[in-house]
Structure 1
Amino acid sequence: MTQRPRIAIAGMAIESSTFSPHRAGARDFQRAEGEELVQRYTSLRDGTLTDAAEWLPVYYARSIPGGAVLREVYDDIKGRILDGLRALMADGGLDGLFFDIHGAMSVDGLDDAEGDLITAIREVIGADVMVSASMDLHGNVSDALVSQVDLITCYRLAPHEDTWETRDRAIRNLVETLRDGRTPRRAHVTVPILLPGEKTSTRVEPAKSLYARIDEVEQRPGVIDAAIWIGYAWADEPRCHGVVVVTGDDDAAITAAAEELGRAFWDVRDEFEFVGPPGTLAEGVDAGLAASDTPYFISDSGDNPGAGGTGDVTWTLAQLLQDERLTAEGAPTVLVGSIFDHEALAELRGKTVGETVTVTAGARVDHGPHGPVTITGVLHSLHEGDPDAGGVAVIRVGGLHAIITEYRKAYHDIADFTSIGLDPFAAQIVVTKIGYLEPTLYDAQRGWTLALTPGGVDQDLERLAHHRIQRPMFPFDSFETEPALTARLFG
């Protein structure tokens, strides 16, 4: 290709638990278009690939994880993407599309949202435009998706410290494949394993060594990219399972590599364990209070908004409020993040910081594990303007500091706490709705319990009662015979 290729940018990203009663609405999505969309990506911002193509931003929408997307919201965003692509096709056409997705989006009335979106996109741009997709390793790769993209890759680290690196790799793969005139194909292997991310972190074995194999595979002649998807465990859809895809232009090479990685994944299935010490909430509190080296972290894992929980399950907060070791005056500092409740924030805005307040909050969306909780304590602080949370209130009950937000927010970074005047390093215990600890929390912790609490992303998958996934599936079923783990070629 002698001229600079014309490459569009579009996508829609959310991780959706079908076991969560939350529905992602218009407010949940942050939007980007125009130059703002181009500037999101490191390689297009720092000059690395800026001049490699004519970058044509279309539309991108991203939400923090939650429940399924309301159909009208999905249809609106999908329509904006398709309209933008139609305009570009009418005005000079396209050579490529960077398709920025998560891969575990659920939409009311659809079983395969990303498959639906890429199919509609192909109807607009045709078969000749090369598409490169970037995904989360907790996404799902359906036949519809892998058949419609030309290049596909995903994160290689969990926690996802390589998020932007992965997107840049997908962009680079697209540019280089167009430049070199290659015709990529995909070797796809289904691996019948469905595990929560907290059992498959690349910080520990066996995922650490499994993902470390990708670099060597990727260097083989005829291979462009190799990827392993753990899949998304908290959706009950037929596409939810492990997947390996190796992309390249040598059928024999990519087939052998995909089957090799698929077998490696299957062979270590019994070795996956929780990345953090699991336990009950009570065990975590006991350990945290006994700790001499602090802060001690407790993951309220069942309602993790970073994996699709609603963020307003009150079960954990209710237990903590009943523990006089935490709520008595002079008790050690315990930070609890968080529950959201629009009405509770509206009520607290009428109060004065420092006064004693009583408010009922939480469980407006997910009230299955526990109903709303009534909190009586000192209004410690009020804050406005958080882009995710909106308003934020902190109520202190003895040593316990309960964080209440106007809208859903994940307290997954030290800065989330310090931005509202709370210092995790000065706390005895930090309780937050999360699974494995994200990097700044992990670096801060001096002890940790992964509390197996209830909610829409319950770590006990059997408690959720999947009934639409493919069977047999590890660890739900025993296997009378070994799965085929045979690669299918697409492209």
Structure 2
Amino acid sequence: MSKRPNIVITGLACETSTFSPARTLAAAFHPRRGDEVIDKYSFIHPGTRLGESATWHGALIGHALPGGIVSRESFEELTNEIIDRLKQLKSSIVIDGLWFDIHGAMCVEGLDDAESDLLHRIRKVIGPGVIVSASMDLHGNVSQELAHQTDLITCYRMAPHEDAMETKERACQDLVDILTTSNGPPVRPLKARVAIPILLPGEQTSTRMEPAKGLYGLIPDVIKTPGVLDASIWVGYAWADEPRNHAVVVVTGWDKEPVIQGAHKLANYFWDQRQAFKFVAPTGSLSECIDSALKSTSRPYFISDSGDNPTAGGAGDVTWSLYRVLTRPEFQDSTDPKVIYASIPGPEAIDIILQTDINAVVTVTVGAEVDNLHHGPIQMTGRIHSIRHGDRDAVVEAVLEVGSVFVIITKLRKPYHHEYDFTQLNLDPREADVVIVKIGYLEPELFDMAADWMLALTPGGVDQDLPRLGHRRIHRPMWPYDREFAEPPDLTPFLVPFSNQSL
């Protein structure tokens, strides 16, 4: 292809728990359209190497905060707009390539494989000749059908996901290379896929530690093999109950033997190491974690309230842990030990707080409007420490000092991953004794800040006790739900042909 290829960008991303009563609606995706899409990705801006090697066209992308299942109406609304925009683009340009920017764990009412369904509809518009490159989260799911419909498919290689933008850029670079290195029609690469009967939470597969560190450390050797273009490992998403939820390896390239051998190497290492996957930090009940924090001299001491982690799909408003924190006798005094709790939604509480002043004492009720399966709303009385407007997720935030606990209340749920999330609220987590955050493994800034930490095994839509959740529809046997296998799983790589039969 001698001319600059036309590449369209689209995709919907939301990591969704089917064990949460929450529902995700269209507005939560904060859709970007047209040039807004291009603006999001600096690596394709004019003047950059990728920006100058292709002509980029934004259709629609939507990236929602992880949460509950996406309503079918919302999915159809966003999908229909994507299709309409693709039809408009196709009427004015020849579409050569499409970058499918997704997460891979979006669950939609009435669908078992939402990303594949979306791409199927997209393919009906753009046709089978367009080269599609997908970038994903390693906690996404690669069904056989999704692999069939894509030409290139890759995912993050780090958890926490410090390489997210690097992965997206790689997906685009590989797409451009395929579209521009042939004088004739682009040549589709080969893909070898292996489904692995393992389903683990991200908190047991962080690449900060073994064996995930070693598993993902094999990728550079595989991709430097002549004839191999990319190698990717998906851990899968543990908090959804769909047949596609399990680990997957996909190796892409031009030569059959090294592609198959690479997939075989990664899949077998993953399976052989299955018993070595452990939690990324010491674990315990919430009570045990608080006891350990109070006994420790390490400050700040972080505790992950993992069962309601909003960045894994939790509703974010489970009050089970906050109730137990506020009733601890050690935290009844207004001075020590200083505890920060992040966070709990309370829209009505925010309305009351906004009618008063800083330092005023108010009584408010918060939480359990969405997920009340574990504990109901709780009432608390405290001093207003700070108020902040304009957050993208929370909209309005306030801090209520209850005893020695500084409780962050939000209008809408929000994850707290950065130091500025706290300092903007006039809170200094480095000076706190204990910081309790609704999170799983600590994100990089929190990890660097923590003098010590524990993972609390708390209830919620992303409960770390996976068997307790009650999966019914995943394929069995599945490690660690099943500890004994009648015979070893078949890890033979399957060479995935491109499928356009239903277009």
Alignment correspondent of 2:38:
38
1:296 aligns with 2:297: no
Name the counterpart of 1:171: 172
Of 407, 412, 430, the residue aligned with 1:402 is 407
Provide the C-alpha distance between the structure 2 equivalents of 1:99 and 1:474, rounded to a whole number of angstroms.
30
Letter in 1 for 2:436: V
Do 1:222 and 1:250's aligned partners in 2 also have CA atoms closer than 8 Å?
Answer: yes
1:311 aligned counterpart, secondary structure: coil
Deviations along 1:443-487, whole A, 9 cap, x unmatched?
A: 000010100000000000011000000011001112010001111
Match of 1:308 in 2: 313
> Quick check: 2:388–2:424 contact (8 Å CA) kept in 1?
no
Residues 155-170 of structure 1 aligned to structure 2 (within 5 Å)? 155-170=156-171
Q: Structure 1 pair 346/27, CA: closer, same or farther in 2 (3 Å)?
A: farther
Identity of aligned residues (%): 52
**1:266-345 equivalences in 2 (<5 Å):** 266-345=271-350
Count how many residue pairs are aligned between Structure 1 and Structure 2. 491
- Does 1:441 find its partner at 2:442? no
8 Å contact 1:131–1:149 — kept in the other structure? yes
Paired residue secondary structure (1:11): strand
User: What is the CA–CA distance in structure 2 between the aligned matches of 1:26 and 1:269, rounded to whole Å?
Assistant: 38
Which is further off, 323-332 or 141-150?
Answer: 323-332
Unaligned runs of 5+ in 2: 499-503
- Give the distance between the partners of 2:58 and 2:431, measured in 1 at CA: 45
Match of 1:214 in 2: 219
Q: Deviations 1:316-362 (Å, cap 9, x if unpaired)? A: 10001101211212222100000112222122222222121111110
CA contact (8 A) 2:348 2:365 kept: no
CA distance in 1, matches of 2:301, 2:411: 27
Query: Matches of 2:400 and 2:29 in 1, distance apart?
Result: 28
For residues 228 and 83 of structure 2, what CA distance do their matches in structure 1 show? 31
Distance in 2 between residues matched to 1:339 and 1:396, nearest whole Å: 14
1:216-266 deviation digits (Å, cap 9, x = unpaired) = 111112111100000000000000000000011222221121111111110
Write the mapping of 1:215-230 to structure 2, written as runs, cut at 5 A: 215-230=220-235
Match of 1:151 in 2: 152
Show the counterpart of 1:367.
372
Which residue does 1:138 correspond to in 2?
A: 139
CA distance in 1 between counterparts of 2:336 and 2:321 reads 18
Where in structure 2 are the equivalents of 1:29-68 lying within 5 Å?
Answer: 29-45=29-45, 47-68=48-69
Equivalent runs, 1:66-77 vs 2, <5 Å: 66-77=67-78
> Corresponding residue for 2:120?
119
CA distance in 2, matches of 1:57, 1:162: 22
Q: Which residue of 2 aligns with 1:96?
A: 97
TM-score by length of 1: 0.98
Question: What's the secondary structure of 1:67's corresponding residue?
Answer: strand
Q: Counterparts of 2:66 and 2:446 in 1: how far apart (Å)?
A: 19
Offset of residue 197 of structure 1: 0.3
Structure 2 residue 387 is the aligned partner of structure 1 residue 382: yes
Q: CA deviation at 1:285?
A: 1.1
Shift of 1:292: 2.0
Deviations 1:68-110 (A, max 9, x none): 1111111111111111111122212211001100000001111
Corresponding residue number in structure 2 for 1:485: 491
Q: In the aligned structure 2, how far is the partner of 1:418 from the partner of 1:454?
A: 28
Deviation digits for residues 360-411 of structure 1 (CA, Å, limit 9, x no counterpart):
1100100111111111111212221111101111110121001110001011
SS of match in other structure, 2:17: coil
Q: Give the RMSD, CA atoms, in angstroms.
A: 1.0
Q: Give me the whole-angstrom Cα distance separating, in 1, the residues matched to 2:27 and 2:116.
A: 24
Taking structure 2 as the reference length, the TM-score comes to 0.96
Per the TM alignment, residue 290 of structure 1 is displaced from its structure 2 partner at its CA by 2.3
The DSSP-based 3-state class of the residue aligned with 1:116 is helix
Matches for 1:11-22 after TM superposition, within 5 Å: 11-22=11-22
On the 8 A contact 1:42/1:164 being kept in 2, the answer is no
Contact 1:119 1:144 in 2 (8 A): no
C-alpha separation in 2, matches of 1:86 and 1:250: 35
- Deviation string for 1:190-217 (max 9, x for gaps)? 0000000000000000000100110111
2:423 equivalent to 1:392: no
Measure, in 1, the Cα distance between the counterparts of 2:168 and 2:245: 22
Q: Which whole-Å CA distance do the structure 2 matches of 1:432 and 1:315 have between them?
A: 13
